Structure 1
Amino acid sequence: MFPLPTPPRLLLSVLVLLCSVLVTAQEEMPVSSTIEEATVFLEGAQVTRTATATVPAGRRAIIFTGLTADLDPESVKVSTRESGFLVLSVSHRMNFGTPPEPGPEVRELEARVETLDFERDLISTRANIAREEEEILRANRSISGQASGLAAEDLERAVRFHRERLTEIRMNYLRWNRQLDSLAKVRESLMKQLAEMRGKKPQKAQSEIVVITEAERSATADFRLSYLVPEAGWEPYYDVRVTDISQPVNLRYRAKVSQDSGEDWEDIKLTLSTGDPKGSAVAPSLEVWRLYGGSRPPTYRPLAARDIRSGYRSVSGRIFDANGEPLIGATVLVQGTTIGTVADVDGNFRIDVPMEATALTFSYTGYRSSSRPITGGRLDVLLEDAAEFLDEVVVTGRARSRKQRRDERISEEDLSLDYSPPPPPPPPPAPAPVPTTVYRQATTVSFQIDLPYSIPSDGKERDVEINQHQLPAHYTHVTVPKVNEAAYLTAAVTNWEQYDLLSGEIQLFFEGTYLGRSYLDVSATEDTLNLSLGKDPNVVVERTEITEFRKESFLGGKVSQSRGYRIEVRNRKEQPIRLLVKEQIPVSADNEITVKSEISSGGRLESESGMVRWELQLPPQREVKVSLEYTVRAPRHKRIYLD
C-alpha cells in the first residue's frame, strides 16, 4: 500500500505552527546591563544602568536581567534615543531561578543518608516484631498459669523458655537502641555536611525588567534604566580646622555613604542629593471650616511618606523538634513553586519569597511535613516525629539525649552556615579632595563627584569628600568664669547659606590638635553661623572673690549683703584676641528687695537678665582685669542666700 499524499492545507498549518513555536522561543531576548550612575539620597538611592541591544523586527520582549531584588517596581524607568521602534510597555517581574543541580559529593551524602534511613527502618521493623512476640509470650504465660493438669516438668520447661526468650528480646532492645543511637549520630553529621554544601550557593532572587518593543526593521539601541533602592543613604559630616586665628576656617564637607542594595557599585558616577524620593511633592490644601452647634475644627494630618517597595519579602525562622533541638538540613519550600532553602546547623533559615506567596512547606526525613501560612517576617516551626518507635521500645534510661550527642560533636562554630561577619576594620584614612560639581534645583541640592567611585553592597560606611571651603570668620574668645575658668574659641561665619551645608557632626582641629566633636545644627542658625572650636589653652582665665568686699550688715530692719569678684585673663598667644567675658548679678523679683551693682569700666549690664558683658581687645602676651561688685538689701524676715 502506498502512502497517501499530505493535504496542502494540513502541511501549511504544520509549518505555521512550527514557525510560531520558533518565534515564541525567540520572543524573550535577555540583555545584560551595567551600573553607570547612582544618585544617593539621605535615605534611598536611584541607580541608573545602561545597555546596548539589537531590537529585532516585529514584536519582541527584551529582558534586562540580573537586577537587584530590592528595587522598587513602581520607580522603574526605561528610555532610549533610538526612534526606529516603539516601546509598548515596561514591566517588572521576579526571577527566583531554578534550584541548582546537586554535585557528586552532595548526591553521595544523600545516598548515605538514605542507607542510614533504611537501616533505621529495618531495626524499627525487627523491634515491632519483637514487641508483638513479647505480647504473645505474656499472654501464653497467663494461660499456662491458669491451666490445670500440667506436669511439673512441662511447666518448668515452659517457664525456662519464656525466661530465655524474654531475655533475648530485652537484650535485643538494648542492642537496637545502641545501633539507633549510632545511626542518629552519623546521620546528624551527614546532614550537617549537606547543609554546609547546599548553603555555599544559596538561591538568590533577582529582578528583571521586561520591555515590549515593536519595530519595522532591526535596529541597535542604547537603553537607560533607572530605579530606586531603599537600602542606601548618606550622612553629612565636617572637618573644621583652624591653623591660626588670623586665617579663615578650613571646612571640609564630607559624607558617610553606605548601601546594601544587593549589587555592587563599581567605578560609577556618584551623586549625593538632599532630595527625598519618598516624600510627597503635592502641597497640602485646606478644607472649608464650617461652624455649627457642636462642630469641631477640621483635622489635618501630614501626608505619609511613600515606602520604597521591592518585589519580594524575606522570611526567616527556626525549625526544631519536640525537644527544642534544631533539625539540621530541613527543607523549606515556597508552596506551589520550586523556590526553597535548607536550615543551617542551628535550625535557622532565611528565604526570599514572592510578594504573592501565601505559605511555606517544611519537611525533614523522619518527621511529618508541615505547611504554614506566611503571616509575617518570622516563622518558627515545630516538626513532629513521624515514628514513635523510640518511646515504645526503650526499656532503660541509658540512651543519650540529642542535646548530649550534639555537645559531643565538633564545634558548631567551625561548620556554622549562619556566618557572622568579622568585626569591621578601623575606618580608612580620609580620602584626598576630589573635584565636585554642585547643582542647585528648586528644592534640592546635588553634589556630583567628578571622579568614579566604588561602593560595595555591604552596608559599611565609606568616606566621600564633597567639597572644601575657606570660610572668612570673625574669631572671639568667650569665657564664663563663674561656670568654667576657660576660654572657648568661636568663629562667626556670615553668608554661610552659599555653601549648601546640612546639619551634621563636626570634628574640630585647632592648631594641629584634635579638640573633639561638636554638632552643626543649621536649622537653628540665623544670619550668622557660629562654630564653637573648643577650649584654647593659651588663654588663661582666673576668677577670685574680693574678700574685703564680702560684707553683711543690719540696719533698720534690713539686711545688706555684699559680694565682689575679680576676673583676670592672660593672652599667651602671639596674636591679639577679641575677648568676650560673661558674668552675672542677681535680679530682684520682689519690690522689697533691691540690688545695687558696680561694674568696672567697659562692662555692660542687661538690667532685665542681670547679665554682664565685657567686649575687649587683648594684645599678645598681655593680661586684663575686670571686676564687679553688688549689694543686696532685703527685709530681715526674707532670707536671701547669695552663696
Structure 2
Amino acid sequence: MTAGTAHEWASALDSVVVYAQGALCRRLARGSVPADGRVRVTGLPRSLDRGSLRARVVGAPGVRVAEARVEVGAEPLGAGPPEALRSEVERLREDCAAVRGRRDRQLGLIEEVRALRPVPPARRRDDPHRRTPVDAWLELSDFVDERLTRLHRRLRELDEELRRAEHELTVAVDRLSRASTASPPVRVETSSSAVLTLDGAGDADIEVEVEYGVPGAVWVPAYHLTYRHGDDTGRLLLRASVAQRTGEDWSGVRIALATADLRRRTELPRLRSLRIGRAQPAPAPSGWREQPAGLAGLFSGYDTAVTRRGANAVPAAPVPVGAGFVDGTTGAGSASGPLPPLPPPPAPAAHAAPPVAPPVPGGASGPFPQAFGSGTGDHLAPPSASRPVARPRTGTRPAAPARAQAPASAPPPVSGAPAAYAPTAPPTGPPQPDDAALDYSALVLRGPDERDGRRGRLFPGSAEDPVAVEYRRRAGTVAALPLPEHAVRPRESAGSFDHRFDAAAPADVPSDGTWHTVTVGDIPVGLRTEYVCVPSVEQTVYATLVLSNNTGQALLAGPVEVVVNEAFLLTAALPTLAPGGLCRVGLGPAEAVGVTRRTNLHESTSGLRNNITVLDHRVHVELANRLAVPVSVEVRERVPVTSDADVRIEERAGWTAPEGGTGPEDHTPGTRLWRIELPAGGSAALDGGYEIRIPAGKALNGGNRRS
C-alpha cells in the first residue's frame, strides 16, 4: 500500500509551547489501525520543520511507531473566510466607484447651472438702445439660486454616502489584510500530513500524539497589577503578548510560554574511545550499506533514445562519438583514425591524436568502469580493423562494444585529457557517510543528466520544497514586529536561566501576525507602598510600590499596568526580578503628602590660630500627610564626600546611611536616609546637618555653600 492510500486520521491541535522564537505544537489523532499499520495524520501546517516531527502512541503500551515522515498533498479548496472577505472587498470597491461617479455627475450639473447667465441678442448698427427687462433678470437669478440649492443639497448627500462607502471599503481591506494565514488565498490547498507506520496495533482504536516545530511565533511578557491604598499585598497578573503566523489558527489550545531558544542544539556529544595499541579501522555506521555498482546502466534506454534523436541533425557543438570527437561546424576533429559515416557525413579528421575514451555516463571515465558506475563498460568505441581501441588495464576483462552515445548535454572536450573526464581512484577505507546520507527518506535518485558519479545513485535532496520555504519565510516575518511599549524580548531579559509559564486556561491566537493578549495566571508577590522624596532636588513626594518576588521563578522585564483603588493609574516598566529580589515601581507624584525644606549656612573659624574654616550646614525638613491612611516616607539627603586629607566632614543628624545590597536599588556615595511613619493627617519635622572643616586659606570648588 502506498502512502497515497494510507488510512487518514483527522487531528486536533491540543497544546502549543511558544519559545523565544518558534513554537512546538502537539496534535492528537484517534482511529482504528488498518491491517498494514500505515495511517496518515492530516492537518499539519506547511511551515513545519520536517526534521522536528515526533510521534508516539498514547495509552497503548504494546504499540509503537516504527516510522514517521512528512508528506505533502493537494486538494481543491472551497470558498473560505478569506474568499468571502475578498468578494466583499470587490463589492464595496464597485459600490464606492458607483457613488463616486454619481458625485462627479452632480458636480457637472452644478457647473452647468452655475454657467447660466442672460445673453442679450446681437444689436445691429441702426437699432436703438433697448431697455433691459429687470424682471427677467431677477427670474433667471432666482431660478439659478433655487436650482443650485437643490443640487448642493444632493451633493452633500452624495459626499456623505461616498464617505461611508470609502470607510466601509477601508475596513474591509484592513480585515482582509489581517485575515488569518491558516486559509490560503488559492483555489488549490497544499497541506502537510504525517505518515506513520504502527507496529503491534491490531485492529483496536488507539490515540497518537504528533509533535512538530514551526517558526513564526514570538511572545513578550506583560503584567497587570492591582492594589489598594494601605494594603501590604496586591494581585500581579501575568499576561503575554503572542503573535504567530504559523499557518494554523490556535483555537481553544493550551498554551505554554518558554524563554528557551528552540533552535539551540541539545543533543549530547558523542564520546569516542581512545585505544592504545595497533590502529584499527573505524566501524561503519549502523544501518549504512553501500550502493550497488552498475547503477548508471539504468539509463541505457535513455541513451539509445538520445542517440536516435540526434542522428538526423548536424550537431552544433562537439559531440562525443566513439573514441574521438568531431566539431560539426568546422569539420575539425580529434580522433585516432577515420570515423564511420554518419548522416550527414562530417569531414574527416584533420589531425590524429592519442585515443581518448569517452566519458561513461554517471561520472566514470577512462578506459574501465569506476566504482558505482556502469559495470558493463558499454560506452567504449566498437573495435574495428581501421581504428585502434582503448583496452582495459592488465588483468581486467575487455570492454563491451558501444551501444549508445553519451547525452548531448555533455561538455565539449579539449585537447589532452580533460579534468572532468579523468579517471578517479576509488575511495579507500571504510565509508564515512554524514547524517544526510543516513536519512533514507530524504534520498533522491539522480537522473540521466547528472555527472561526477551521481547518475543513477541516491543522494540527499538538492533543494527543499520551494512552497514550504516560502511559507517559512512568511512565518519568520513576525520576528520583525514592533514591540509594545516597555516590552523586552524574553531572551534579552531572561539572561542565563530558562523558565516555562503555563497558561491557566485555553486561549485563541489566530494566525494573522499581530499581537494578541493571553492570560497566564496570578503571581504571588509581596507588595508595600512607600513614599520617596529628595527635597534638595525637588520638593515633591513620589509614591512607589516595592515588589518582592516570592516565587521560585524569575519575573521577566516587561510593561506593567497599575490599577489603584480600581482606577487605572499608569503603565510602567518592570525590570527583571529574580526569585527573592526586590524592585521599585514609581507611581508618580503624591499630591496628598507635602514636603518643605529649608537650609542655613553658618561660617566660623576655629583652631589655635583660627587657621580652620568651619562651614556649618543645617537642614530642616517638614512633612505633612493629608491622606486618610498612615504612610511611610523616605527622605533622601546627601552629604559631601572627599578624598582630600585637609578636608574633614562631621555629620550631626539622625539620618542613616543606606545598607549596601539590601535595597531595591543602588545609592550614590554620600546618600543619607530618613524613614518616618506619618499617621493619617499627621505631620513631622526633621533636622539634620553637617560641618565641613577646611584650612582657612582655602575654599571649596563651586562655593562654600553646599545646600
TM-score for the superposition, normalised by structure 2:
0.46
Aligned-residue Cα RMSD (Å) equals 4.3
2:594 equivalent to 1:540: yes
CA distance 1:572–1:512, change in 2 (3 Å):
farther
The one-character-per-residue Cα deviations of 1:441-464 (angstroms, maximum 9, x if unpaired) are: x974442423x3221101222222
2:370 equivalent to 1:264: no
Amino acid at match of 1:50: L
CA distance 1:201–1:532, change in 2 (3 Å):
same
Tell me the equivalent position of 2:565.
511
2:618 equivalent to 1:569: no
User: Max radius of gyration: which structure?
Assistant: 2
Q: Shift in Å at residue 584 of structure 1?
A: 1.1
The one-character-per-residue Cα deviations of 1:162-201 (angstroms, maximum 9, x if unpaired) are: xxxxxxxxxxxxxxxxxxxxxxxxxxxxxxxxxxxxx952
Query: Equivalent residue of 1:248, what SS?
Result: coil
Matches of 1:267 and 1:94 in 2, distance apart? 26
Residues matched between the structures, number = 377
2:36 equivalent to 1:43: no
Tell me the equivalent position of 1:466.
520
Tell me the equivalent position of 2:656.
604
Matches of 2:618 and 2:22 in 1, distance apart? 59
Q: Which of 684, 687, 699 is equivalent to 1:624?
A: 684
Amino acid at match of 2:254: K
Matches of 1:524 and 1:482 in 2, distance apart? 33
2:477 equivalent to 1:447: no
Tell me the equivalent position of 2:36.
58
Unaligned runs of 5+ in 1: 1-22, 101-198, 286-335, 337-353, 361-373, 379-419, 428-441
2:79 equivalent to 1:79: no
Matches of 2:531 and 2:227 in 1, distance apart? 14
Q: Which of 193, 202, 206 is equivalent to 2:191?
A: 206
Tell me the equivalent position of 1:70.
47
Matches of 1:491 and 1:469 in 2, distance apart? 16
2:226 equivalent to 1:227: no
Tell me the equivalent position of 2:385.
none
Amino acid at match of 2:13: I
Amino acid at match of 1:69: R
Query: Equivalent residue of 1:74, what SS?
Result: helix
Q: Contact conserved, 1:57 with 1:215, CA < 8 A, in 2?
A: no
Query: Equivalent residue of 1:604, what SS?
Result: coil
Matches of 1:48 and 1:25 in 2, distance apart? 22
Written as runs of structure 1 = structure 2, the 5 A alignment for 1:166-565 is 201=186, 205-213=190-198, 218-281=203-266, 356-357=462-463, 444-450=499-505, 452-469=506-523, 471-494=525-548, 496-498=550-552, 501-523=555-577, 526-528=580-582, 530-546=584-600, 549=601, 551=603, 559-565=613-619
2:638 equivalent to 1:584: yes
Matches of 1:34 and 1:201 in 2, distance apart? 23
Matches of 2:596 and 2:201 in 1, distance apart? 89
Instruction: Name the one with the larger strand percent.
Output: 1
Matches of 2:21 and 2:185 in 1, distance apart? 32
Matches of 1:476 and 1:534 in 2, distance apart? 12
The one-character-per-residue Cα deviations of 1:296-326 (angstroms, maximum 9, x if unpaired) are: xxxxxxxxxxxxxxxxxxxxxxxxxxxxxxx
Q: Shift in Å at residue 359 of structure 1?
A: 12
Matches of 2:613 and 2:501 in 1, distance apart? 67
Q: Contact conserved, 1:496 with 1:529, CA < 8 A, in 2?
A: no
The one-character-per-residue Cα deviations of 1:57-107 (angstroms, maximum 9, x if unpaired) are: 1364x333342122122221112244676633111244577999xxxxxxx
Q: Shift in Å at residue 562 of structure 1?
A: 4.1
Q: Shift in Å at residue 590 of structure 1?
A: 0.4
2:692 equivalent to 1:640: no
Q: Contact conserved, 2:63 with 2:201, CA < 8 A, in 1?
A: yes
Amino acid at match of 1:262: G
The one-character-per-residue Cα deviations of 1:393-446 (angstroms, maximum 9, x if unpaired) are: xxxxxxxxxxxxxxxxxxxxxxxxxxx99xx9xx9xxxxxxxxxxxxxx97444
Query: Equivalent residue of 2:531, what SS?
Result: strand
Q: Contact conserved, 1:239 with 1:253, CA < 8 A, in 2?
A: yes
Q: Contact conserved, 1:473 with 1:494, CA < 8 A, in 2?
A: yes
Query: Equivalent residue of 1:239, what SS?
Result: strand
TM-score for the superposition, normalised by structure 1:
0.50
Amino acid at match of 1:611: T
Matches of 2:230 and 2:499 in 1, distance apart? 34
Q: Contact conserved, 2:25 with 2:212, CA < 8 A, in 1?
A: yes
Query: Equivalent residue of 2:551, what SS?
Result: helix
Unaligned runs of 5+ in 2: 79-183, 271-446, 448-459, 485-496, 660-667
Matches of 2:464 and 2:49 in 1, distance apart? 21
Matches of 2:74 and 2:266 in 1, distance apart? 35
Q: Shift in Å at residue 475 of structure 1?
A: 3.1
Q: Contact conserved, 1:563 with 1:629, CA < 8 A, in 2?
A: yes
CA distance 1:459–1:553, change in 2 (3 Å):
farther
Identical columns (%):
24
